[in-house]
Structure 1
Amino acid sequence: MVEDRVDSGSTVGRAAEIVGVTVRTLHHWDEIGLATPSQRTPAGYRSYTRDDIDRLHRIVAYRESGLGLDAVREVLDDATAEIGETLRVQRSRLADRIRDLQRLDQRLERLGEAHERGILLSDQEQAETFGSDWDPARSSEARVQWGGSLQWAQFAERSATRSRDEWRVLADAMSVLQMDLGDALDRGVTPGSAEANELAERHRGIFSNFFPLSREMQVCLGRMFESDTGFSAHYDGIRAGLASWFRQIIDESARAHGIDPDAAVWR
């Protein structure tokens, strides 16, 4: 019954239904000369013959394979066109696209994990990278405290692309800085001096690898280093009184740049 209707001519709506596209699509293909109905009714309406429907089916098949309309036209209208070669080229392009999508999927997976875990290293890798006294739970604790902040998002975005070797470089730089801080305290370096300001600036530069750290934000960190029992124990374990001295040199460095450390806020 359907065959009879096709033989006798199909309206645009019926042709669209047969091949599974919209009427608007058929109008477009007609306008660009890709698939023009061979017949018109006495009233002037488009009418698709069996051959027209066959062409539409072929167009749909090649479109679903990923060919553009110009390539489809070439395949259908150019008697010299190598359909097999055209399809091989399309498969090659598709393979490239699949590889791109797979890489994108891997990046999205790592980004999602970084937002959840922070540091994408195993507990053993973290211990080997950051030292035996490092507690991998710190990353989870940081997410609980800061997970909804812009800085956590920035930290996660950078963590997602950071290799173990890059983490080691940052850890080594921070370790050297902390030893230099302890040595400066031993030598009686005064907060506000050029050497003390340089140490504070080194800290801000290293820490900015995790997220952009303004001087006001650094002041807030300095307060936390002194007041938080975990941080103060860490710094005072390097040198007695280092946590307070570190906060002082950060404050004085900020003051040298026109910032009142007493009024500094996290921004």
Structure 2
Amino acid sequence: MTEIAMPAHTGSVQALTVGQVAETFGVTVRTLHHYDEVGLLPPSERTRAGYRLYTSQDLQRLGTIVVYRRLGFALEEIGELLEADGAEVVDHLRRQRDLVRDRLARMTELVDAIEHALEAEMTDRPATTEDLKALFGDGYNEEYQAQAQQRWGDTDKWRQSQQRTEGMTRAQWARVKAETETFESDLGAAVRAGEPVDGDAAATLAERHRASIERFYDCDHEFQVCLAQMYLSDPRFTQHYEDIEPGAAQWLHDAIVANAERHAG
């Protein structure tokens, strides 16, 4: 008979009642009665009144049963295992291991399916503040958002921006982030390459910049120049572009001004 170690605190003990055993092993009294009825765990002793008493050997056997039950074995299989020799037990456990691995694989597939469903559900709903924080990290500043609302909240462009963004999903914001990162990378490359601010490459970047603004509110060339002036007058904007490439704030300002003059002419 093969047995697995029972809980340490049940070592050498006197015979226990069914209630004491149930509490020790975390099983129900009804379960113990059933194990007795099917011959899986008949108690070795009885009181004079006929009540069940479990010896140390019984508790050892119960410990083994509990482990096998947690592994998913049926009671009939457990009975066979308890009476089997070492080689048979190894075969049983190997088969059970394979079954558990298969079950884990199916559960992993189920988790993946749930994740995909959750992602689809979240993609279709408007992004929350938490979504934006997770997506943009330090690039999303609630304090700045509040300051911007205080400064421009009564303007048509602010209201237009709120209308255009209120239903944007996380996926749409992710595209905004990706496009912004691509633009800033190209901006840094143009500055490093010494592209002239009145050249075609600069004009293309200026138009890309204006298009990124128009995603949120109408932005003609005249208003874009106003924004460009802020990139030099507001230290936060200046620092943002300087972090991309030294001189980028001034270069972008000058490129926007030159592009506006080109279109005005």
Tell whether the 8 Å contact from 1:225 to 1:232 is kept in structure 2 after alignment. Answer: yes
Residue matched to 1:158: 164
Residue matched to 1:196: 202
Tell whether the 8 Å contact from 2:197 to 2:251 is kept in structure 1 after alignment. Answer: yes
Q: Residue 227 of structure 2: which of 211, 215, 221 is its match?
A: 221
Tell me how far apart the structure 2 counterparts of residues 252 and 201 of structure 1 sit (CA, whole Å).
11
Matches within 5 A, 1:174-253: 174-253=180-259
Residue matched to 1:121: 128
Tell whether the 8 Å contact from 1:151 to 1:211 is kept in structure 2 after alignment. Answer: yes
Tell me how far apart the structure 2 counterparts of residues 137 and 168 of structure 1 sit (CA, whole Å).
21
AA in 2 matched with 1:158: R
How far 1:121 moved relative to its partner? 2.7
How far 1:135 moved relative to its partner? 1.6
Tell me how far apart the structure 2 counterparts of residues 167 and 175 of structure 1 sit (CA, whole Å).
12
TM-score by structure 1 length?
0.50
Tell me how far apart the structure 1 counterparts of residues 242 and 200 of structure 2 sit (CA, whole Å).
23
Tell me how far apart the structure 1 counterparts of residues 139 and 163 of structure 2 sit (CA, whole Å).
26
Tell whether the 8 Å contact from 2:135 to 2:174 is kept in structure 1 after alignment. Answer: yes
Matches within 5 A, 1:12-23: none
Give the 3-state SS of the residue equivalent to 1:200 in structure 2.
Answer: helix
CA RMSD of aligned residues (A): 1.8
Q: Residue 254 of structure 1: which of 252, 260, 263 is its match?
A: 260
- For structure 2, which runs of at least 5 residues remain unmatched after alignment? 1-124
How far 1:120 moved relative to its partner? 5.8
Q: After superposition, what is the alpha-carbon deviation per residue over 1:170-218, rounded to whole angstroms, capped at 9, x for unaligned?
A: 1211111011101100001001101100000011111100101110010
Q: Quick check: 1:146 aligned with 2:167?
A: no
Residue matched to 2:47: none
Tell me how far apart the structure 1 counterparts of residues 184 and 152 of structure 2 sit (CA, whole Å).
24
Matches within 5 A, 1:55-134: 121-122=128-129, 124-134=130-140
How many residues are paired up?
A: 141
Give the 3-state SS of the residue equivalent to 2:219 in structure 1.
Answer: coil
Cα distance change on mapping 1:245 and 1:187 into 2, 3 Å? same
Tell whether the 8 Å contact from 1:158 to 1:210 is kept in structure 2 after alignment. Answer: yes
AA in 2 matched with 1:202: R
Tell me how far apart the structure 1 counterparts of residues 217 and 139 of structure 2 sit (CA, whole Å).
24
Tell whether the 8 Å contact from 2:231 to 2:238 is kept in structure 1 after alignment. Answer: yes
Q: Which protein shows a greater Rg?
A: 2
Tell whether the 8 Å contact from 1:235 to 1:242 is kept in structure 2 after alignment. Answer: yes
AA in 2 matched with 1:121: T
Tell me how far apart the structure 1 counterparts of residues 176 and 187 of structure 2 sit (CA, whole Å).
16
Q: Which deviates more, 171-180 or 191-200?
A: 171-180
Q: After superposition, what is the alpha-carbon deviation per residue over 1:28-73, rounded to whole angstroms, capped at 9, x for unaligned?
A: xxxxxxxxxxxxxxxxxxxxxxxxxxxxxxxxxxxxxxxxxxxxxx
Give the 3-state SS of the residue equivalent to 1:257 in structure 2.
Answer: helix
1 or 2 for the larger relative contact order (CA 8 Å, sep ≥6)?
A: 2
Tell me how far apart the structure 2 counterparts of residues 163 and 195 of structure 1 sit (CA, whole Å).
32
Tell me how far apart the structure 2 counterparts of residues 247 and 182 of structure 1 sit (CA, whole Å).
13
Q: After superposition, what is the alpha-carbon deviation per residue over 1:126-178, rounded to whole angstroms, capped at 9, x for unaligned?
A: 23222434322222111000000000110011111211111111121111101
